[in-house]
Amino acid sequence: MTTPTSSDGSSSSGRPSPDHDPWAPPSSAAGGAEVPRLPYPLPTAQPRNGMGITALVLGLVGIGLGVFILLFWISWLPALLAVIFGSIGLSQVRKGLATNRAMAVSGLVMGIVGLLIAAGTGVFMVVTVKHAVDHARAKVKEVKREAKEEREEAAAEEKARHLPFGKSYTFGDGLKVTVAKPTPFTPDAFANGHAKGNKAVQVTITVVNTGKERVSIETGLPDVNDADGASAQLVIDGSGRQKVLTGYLLPGRKAVGKYAFSLPPTAADRAEVEFSPDVMRWDDAYWSGSTR
């Protein structure tokens, strides 16, 4: 016995006919009948939001690195990648392949800002380093110039302290010293320091106080060298003709010291006298010349 079927393919008992195709479109006889739903949903494409997220992260990294002056030289790379990935992410949003437009735009903007920060920091570092180098070079030049000036001043001072007999040299305390050309000296019979055959000379030293305060003279004894550079022997006798400079010298006053020295005959034609009115404060000045 055959069960009658309806126009939609189902039997009168409600069961679908074995010959009915469930995937076939409804017949026109169905009219406005409801279209049957599929037994399972169709798969939907997932949005491609990875580029926008990556751009945002790289943009933050680029800005973060750019803030640290010591790391600016690597901040441009993540910032540049953020611009690239952000642009790709926006392109995917326009094509409907991604949904995170805000992230892509933020990553792109942060990438651009990171590049600007990296460029600005780089310029700042270049200017800073150049300024530091220029300052260091200027300092080195200044030190060299000062050292040269000091050497020239020392050389000039050294030259000024070497004078011929009869010239004057003024020391820092205002004492003006003049060493006269040595004159012949005849020791008495009781002289000490003069060998027979040597030439004895007398060295006269005049000191004038050109300052406004009294000055102490603490000279010790002058040193005399002969033409060979050997130290001459100090002559001491009982004639009373020798006078040692010592004590205080008032402003405008003058003191004269006289000393005798014995020179060997082979080196008695020239002599050099070293003298300072205060050996603890001032370097010696030098007077030299012929003794003839």
Count the neighbouring beta carbons within 10 Å of the beta carbon of residue 141.
Answer: 10
* Residue 100: partners with Cβ closer than 8 Å, 6 or more residues away: 47, 49, 52, 53, 89, 93
271: left (phi over 0), alpha (psi -120 to 50) or beta: beta
- 183-184 and 246-249 beta bridge pairing: unpaired
Asked if 98 contacts 51 with a C-beta cutoff of 8 angstroms, the reply is yes
- What domains are defined for the chain? 50-131 (no CATH), 162-290 (2.60.40.1240)
Q: What is the rounded distance in angstroms from the CA atom of residue 124 to the CA atom of residue 70?
A: 12
Q: Which residue has the tokens 């012929």?
A: 290
> Per-residue confidence of the chain (292 residues) as pLDDT tens digits?
444 545 454 444 555 555 555 555 555 444 455 556 656 555 556 777 888 889 889 889 988 888 776 677 788 888 899 899 989 988 988 888 888 889 889 989 999 998 998 888 888 888 988 999 999 999 999 999 999 998 888 888 888 889 999 999 999 889 999 999 999 999 888 888 888 889 999 999 999 999 999 998 876 689 999 888 888 899 988 888 888 888 899 999 999 999 999 998 888 889 999 999 888 888 899 999 998 8
Rounded Cα–Cα distance for residues 180 and 257 (Å): 11
> What's the rounded Cα separation, in Å, for the pair 239 and 11?
169
Q: How many beta carbons lie within 10 A of that of residue 250, not counting itself?
A: 12
- What lies within 8 Å, CB to CB, of 281 at 6+ separation is 172, 173
The H-or-E segment that residue 187 falls in is none
Strand partners, 274: 223, 286
Q: Give the side-chain half-sphere CA count within 13 A for 275.
A: 31
Total residue count of the chain as it appears in this document: 292
Range list of β-strands (E), the chain: 162-164, 168-170, 175-179, 183-184, 199-209, 215-218, 223-226, 233-235, 246-249, 254-263, 270-275, 285-290
* Nearest-angstrom CA–CA distance, 13 and 73: 81
pTM over 0.85: no
pLDDT of residue 9: 47
Helix (H), strand (E) at residue 54: helix 50-67
pLDDT given at position 113: 92
